[in-house]
Amino acid sequence: MNNDAVLTKALNEIARLELINFRQAVAIEQLQNEISIRDQMKGGQNVNDTTNTSTEHEQKPSVSEEHND
């Protein structure tokens, strides 16, 4: 009985780890697809320059609005 319990516990742990690995692979694939789509939408511009510019423009109005209230 003891061997069966150890084997069952080991098989359950293997199944759990395989599920984690699968979920991780799916998440990585989704993120890679999102990055690819983002890059295609930017039309070949430098991703760092475009991202920084967009972020700066988005942050400045919200900061000034908070200070004006």
Question: Are 34 and 42 spatial neighbours (Cβ–Cβ below 8 Å)?
Answer: no
- Report pLDDT for 45: 56
CA distance 25 to 65: 41
- Report pLDDT for 19: 98
Please give the tally of structural domains in the chain.
1
Per-residue pLDDT tens digits for 17-45: 999 999 999 999 999 999 999 999 998 65
Q: Which tokens sit at 11? A: 């098989």
Give the domain range for residue 64.
2-68
- Report pLDDT for 2: 85
CA distance 53 to 50: 5
Q: What are the helix (H) ranges across the chain?
A: 2-41, 47-68
Q: Averaged over 54-61, what is the pLDDT?
A: 47
